[in-house]
Amino acid sequence: MPPGWDGVETTARIWEVDPGLQVVICTAYSDYDWVDLANKLGRTDRLLILKKPFDSIEARQMACALTEKWKLARQASWKLEKLEGMVRERTVELRREIAEHKQAEEEKSKLEERLRQGQKMEAIGTLASGIAHDFNNLLTGILGYSSMLKLLAQPGDDVLEAAEAIGRAATRAAEFTKQILGFARRGKLQNTPVDVHHVIGDVAGILGRTIDKKIGIALSLHAESPVVTGDPSQLQQVVMNLAVNARDAMPTGGEIIFATEAVDLDEEYCRDHPHASPGRYLLVSVTDTGTGIPEEVRHRVFEPFFTTKGPGEGTGMGLAMAYGIVKNHDGFIEVYSEVGRGTTVKVYLPLCGEAIARDEGPRLAAPIPGGGRILVVDDEEVVREVVERMLGCLGYEVACVHNGREAADHYGKHGPDIDLVILDMTMPVMDGGECFRALKGLDPEVKALLSTGHALNGTAQRLLDEGMLGFVQKPYVLAQLSEAVARALGRG
Ligand SMILES: Nc1ncnc2c1ncn2[C@@H]1O[C@H](COP(=O)(O)OP(=O)(O)OP(=O)(O)O)[C@@H](O)[C@H]1O
Ligand SMILES: [Mg+2]
């Protein structure tokens, strides 16, 4: 014992260092009674007083019992620590599981929202397509008659001016139906390799000449072979619509950046973006430094007729059309936006990998006169009438029937005299395709031209593959009809 410390003092000091230690004080007499001890060392089970003289067996037994007790206490404390560790680990795991569950729930509701949005767009698309189809038939009448009037009127005549005004208005209406059809995703007008860098170059060129000088235009075109399969003018329309939106979002100036790169989308990306399918895509992005799109309207921007512009300022068809056209090209479109910082619209189009020469675009020549007998098959009276007159004007002899069955009957009787059949695509009784097959059954050499308000979709393309000689898109003017007919007859 250190000098000056008795057994009790020493015990108290030892316990400061190791509170678990068992202590036996061996003493012949004591200055302390039990209460004094309790006051000095606290009430404890770690202390035993062994009165001298003691028996050595008694002492050994006590030592064994105390050692065992100490071991058990140590084990209990380890187990407790281990248990606490397990509880801590499990708590962390549970927190993670709850967070994952919450994230999965959020993703699920996001997917459901996208699905609902997709279904809504699909339904509006079907409606829009129906309206555009009927409209195109009416416009075929208006455009056709106005182009005939122009041909028949004398120069300087009031009738000529009126016909031109009707033609201009109808052409604008036809552009609008084209936009609706574009949205309605009923096929491409053409299906050729398109160099998207040329498309962007054209749009940037037009913008550079026309928009406010406070807006800068930058190109960052990194895709090596930016060729996709589709319709060049529709794709130009998409880029133009995005660029015009970017311009409109920067009334006080800013920058529009067109960028491209080739990207590989894998299964994992497609799991998070259910509208995408894996593959190699051309990513075309149009970025602006404008107002951005507030969160609450972001999910509506692709809806037809949704606009935040004032009355008479926006049709709300720009993005709807872009959405439809891109979808129609087996691609998809996404919007990223931050209010006050700007917007990026990303368009993904499947890459086709071919390099192509520059397309010089379509040209519209003067009407081409002709001769021969033509059978017109269309269920719309206005279309039958105007096409009959237009063809008559061009020098053809024309017979008209209402549907596919009548066409087959007529062809059965007069087939050898008929040089060309112009077939509507969508008709009751027997549609354009069925009718064409029936006519081919009668005469494998039959010459037929497809006339439809819908774009060149899978069905129309199949008919061309089956031997139809061409395709004329309603509504058309005299020159377009004459060119398609002449080409089908091998005279164009
Ligand atoms: N780059 C953009 N920055 C900010 N808002 C945008 C952007 N692009 C689209 N929007 C928002 O989405 C809406 C719909 O765009 P959309 O192009 O379909 O129609 P619009 O631009 O309003 O009409 P229009 O195209 O006939 O001028 C816009 O009114 C605007 O609120
Ligand atoms: Mg717009």
The full set of domains in the chain, from first to last, is 7-54 (no CATH), 192-350 (3.30.565.10), 372-488 (3.40.50.2300)
Mean pLDDT comparison of 28-32, 191-195, 341-345, highest-scoring range: 341-345
Is the minimum distance from the CB of 250 to ligand 1 under 6 angstroms? Answer: no
- Using the mean position of ligand 2's atoms as its centre, give its distance from the Cα of residue 238 in Å: 10
The phi, psi pair for 489, rounded to 5°, reads -85, 5
Residue nearest to atom 13 of ligand 1 (CA): 307
* Ligand 1 near 404 CB (within 6 A): no
Q: Is 291 in the pocket of ligand 1 (CB under 6 A)?
A: yes
Q: Which of 215, 241, 244, 248 to mutate to test the pocket of ligand 1 (most atoms within 8 A of CB)?
A: 248
Long-range CB pairs of 23-26 (<8 Å, 24+ gap) are 23/47, 23/48, 24/48, 24/49, 24/50, 24/59, 24/62, 24/63, 24/66, 25/49, 25/50, 26/50, 26/51, 26/52, 26/54, 26/59
| pTM (predicted TM-score) | 0.54
Name residue 247's amino acid.
R
Q: Is the pLDDT of residue 99 over 50?
A: yes
Q: pLDDT of 118-173, one tens digit each?
A: 777 778 777 877 888 888 889 999 999 998 898 888 888 888 888 988 998 898 88
Cα dihedral sign, 457-463-468-469: positive
Ligand nearest to the CA of 345: 1
Tracing tokens 């967070």 back to the chain, one arrives at: 99
| Residue 412: per-residue pLDDT | 94
Task: State if residue 256 touches ligand 1 by the CB under 6 angstroms criterion.
Answer: no
Q: Residue 428 — pLDDT band, cuts 50, 70, 90? A: confident
Higher pLDDT, 461 or 487: 487
| Minimum-distance ligand 1 atom for the alpha carbon of 315 | 26
| Residue-level pLDDT at 403 | 92
d(Cα 32, Cα 29) in Å, to the nearest integer? 9
Q: Whose CA is nearest to atom 19 of ligand 1?
A: 316
CA neighbor of 140 nearest in space, from 453, 466, 465: 453
Give the model's pLDDT for residue 360. Answer: 45
User: Which residue in this structure is represented by tokens 């061309």?
Assistant: 464
Closest ligand to the CA of 302:
1
Ligand nearest to the CA of residue 323, numbered in listed order? 1
Decide: helix, strand or coil at residue 429: coil
Q: How confident is the model at residue 361 (pLDDT cuts 50, 70, 90)?
A: very low
Q: How many CB atoms lie within 10 A of CB 208?
A: 12
User: Measured between alpha carbons, how far is 393 from 395 in angstroms, rounded to an integer?
Assistant: 5
Q: Kindly provide the residue ranges of all beta strands, DSSP E only, lying in 289-361, ordered along the sequence.
A: 332-338, 342-350
**Angle, to 10 degrees, between the axis of helix 158-184 and the axis of helix 232-248?**
90
CA of 44 to the centre of ligand 1 (A): 81
Q: What are phi and psi of 338, to 5 degrees?
A: -130, 125
Residues lining ligand 2 (ion), CB within 5 A? Answer: 245, 318
* pLDDT tens for each residue of 232-251: 888 988 999 999 999 999 99
Is 60 exceeded by the pLDDT of residue 356?
Answer: no
Question: Rounded CA gap, 334 and 352, in Å?
Answer: 21
pLDDT-derived band at 362, boundaries 50, 70, 90: very low
Q: How far is CA 407 from CA 34, 250, 377, 378, in A?
A: 124, 57, 6, 10
Among 38-52, 295-309, 323-337, name the one with the lowest average pLDDT: 38-52
Task: Answer yes or no: is the C-beta of 289 below 6 A from any ligand 1 atom.
Answer: no
pLDDT tens readout for residues 275-328: 888 999 999 999 999 999 999 999 899 988 889 988 778 888 889 889 988 988
- Of 134-148, 170-184, 377-391, 417-431, least confident by mean pLDDT is 170-184
For 167-220, the pLDDT digits (tens) are 988 988 887 787 677 666 555 566 788 999 999 998 898 888 788 889 999 999
Residue 9's pLDDT is: 87
Which residues 6+ apart lie within 8 Å of 293 measured at CB? 301, 335, 337, 339, 343
Which residue has a Cα nearest atom 29 of ligand 1?
307
> What are the start-end ranges of the E strands in 199-304?
215-221, 227-230, 254-265, 279-288
- 195, two tokens: 């160099």
Residue 302 CA: nearest ligand 1 atom is 18
Contact between residue 335 and residue 301 where contact means Cβ atoms under 8 Å apart = yes
Whether the CB of 333 sits within 6 Å of ligand 1:
no
- Residue in 124, 242, 301, 303 to alter for ligand 1 test, most ligand atoms within 8 A of Cβ: 301
Q: Which ligand is in closest contact with the Cα of 293?
A: 1
The percent of the chain in helix, strand and coil, each rounded to the nearest 5, is 50, 20, 30
- 467-486 pLDDT, tens digit each: 889 888 888 889 999 999 99
Q: Which atom belonging to ligand 1 lies closest to the Cα atom of 246? A: 1
Ligand 1 neighbourhood includes 341 CB (under 6 angstroms): no
Out of 211, 319, 321, 343, give the residue to mutate to test ligand 1, the one with the largest number of ligand atoms within 8 Å of its CB. Answer: 319
Q: Is 316 in the pocket of ligand 1 (CB under 6 A)?
A: yes
Q: Is 236 in the pocket of ligand 1 (CB under 6 A)?
A: no
Bridging pattern class, strands 279-288 and 342-350: antiparallel
Q: Classify the phi-psi angles of 452: left when phi > 0, otherwise alpha if psi is within -120 to 50, otherwise beta.
A: beta
Tell me which range, 113-117, 399-403, 431-435, 450-454, is most confidently predicted by mean pLDDT.
399-403
